[in-house]
């Protein structure tokens, strides 16, 4: 027999980017402890719809903790109280009957609110477009051992690549900085041989785009690492700092010229 609970929700409601927005209070009744946080919101929304009211808008896609869509700040913590857990994987058994739950969108000027709890994380896409890729003809898959990758490098690249781009790092940072995201994305390519040719240009371009998007600076609170559902380490931020210094001070300038041979 599973427990059920009744909660009081304080939810940020905002019709669109230009709307001022504000908090509304809702009752979430007869919530099973086995529901995920998003399923709880689904229940609330169905009741709102039945009453002829606008449902609470929130992002979700895979609901298995790997797509990075379902970000919201729950009682002051991005993705809620459980460590290394996305909102969709947060279960209601971590709440108690009678709890008051405050739900807010990510707060950052670079993540404008589109509606209620939905923010536009296009800034992250533009950072990736600026340099978070490898320019190579893909062709067919190469011989497995043609390009040896040391185990430690492969592990490090995988640790960084675990980033799902959810934006919890920005939401948690007192400065709304995107350093952990940028560091992870630069490091997962920078750790591998395929990423080396563009390593230094990549770091410069991604950091420039990060700054242009209006994210804050890093002041080493490490709130990002605590909030990250994939437990990305701030060690990657040290790497980003190191790589940017090397890219701008030591490495030769890459000149972009169109055409020409070689």
In the complex, the residues that contact another protein under the rule CB under 8 A are: 10, 23, 73, 75-77, 102, 104, 107-110, 122-123, 126, 129-130, 172, 174-177, 201, 204-205, 207-223, 225-227, 233-235, 237-245, 248-249
Smallest separation (angstroms) from another protein to the CB of 140:
31
Smallest separation (angstroms) from another protein to the CB of 49:
26
- Alpha-carbon distance of 234 to 226, in angstroms, equals 10
| Closest CA relative to residue 90, chosen from 72, 111, 117, 116 | 72
Smallest separation (angstroms) from another protein to the CB of 73:
6
Smallest separation (angstroms) from another protein to the CB of 114:
14
Residue (23 or 49) nearer to another protein, CB: 23
Residue (47 or 221) nearer to another protein, CB: 221
* Whether the Cβ atoms of residue 209 and residue 127 lie closer than 8 Å to each other: yes
Helix, strand or coil for residue 9?
A: strand
With 0-12 / 13-18 / 19 or more C-beta atoms within 10 angstroms meaning exposed / middle / buried, residue 240 is buried
Residue (96 or 248) nearer to another protein, CB: 248
| Closest CA relative to residue 77, chosen from 114, 37, 39 | 37
With 0-12 / 13-18 / 19 or more C-beta atoms within 10 angstroms meaning exposed / middle / buried, residue 163 is buried
Residue (89 or 239) nearer to another protein, CB: 239
Helix, strand or coil for residue 113?
A: strand
| Closest CA relative to residue 59, chosen from 86, 99, 23 | 86
Smallest separation (angstroms) from another protein to the CB of 256:
9
Smallest separation (angstroms) from another protein to the CB of 59:
18
Residue (147 or 174) nearer to another protein, CB: 174
Residue (49 or 238) nearer to another protein, CB: 238
């Amino acid at each position: 027999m599973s427990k059920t609970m009744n909660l009081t929700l304080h939810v940020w409601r905002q019709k669109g980017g230009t709307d001022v927005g504000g908090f509304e209070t809702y009752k979430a009744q007869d919530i099973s402890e086995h529901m995920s946080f998003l399923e709880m919101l689904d229940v609330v929304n169905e009741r709102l719809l039945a009453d002829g009211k606008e449902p609470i808008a929130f992002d979700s896609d895979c609901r298995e903790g790997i797509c990075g869509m379902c970000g919201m700040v729950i009682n002051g913590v991005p993705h809620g109280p459980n460590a290394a857990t996305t909102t969709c994987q947060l279960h209601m058994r971590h709440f108690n009957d009678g709890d008051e739950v405050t739900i807010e969108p990510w707060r950052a000027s670079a993540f404008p609110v589109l509606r209620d709890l939905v923010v536009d994380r296009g800034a992250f896409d533009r950072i990736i477009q600026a340099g978070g890729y490898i320019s190579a003809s893909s062709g067919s898959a190469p011989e497995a051992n043609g390009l040896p990758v040391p185990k430690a490098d492969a592990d490090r690249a995988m640790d960084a690549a675990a980033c799902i781009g959810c934006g919890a790092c920005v939401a948690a940072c007192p400065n709304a900085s995107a350093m952990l995201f940028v560091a992870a994305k630069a490091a997962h390519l920078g750790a591998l041989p395929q990423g080396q040719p563009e390593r230094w240009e990549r770091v410069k371009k991604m950091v420039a785009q990060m700054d242009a998007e209006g994210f804050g600076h890093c002041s080493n609170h490490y709130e990002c690492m605590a909030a990250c559902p994939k437990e990305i380490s701030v060690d990657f931020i040290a790497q980003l700092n190191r790589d940017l210094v090397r890219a701008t001070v030591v490495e030769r300038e890459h000149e972009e010229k169109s055409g020409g041979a070689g």
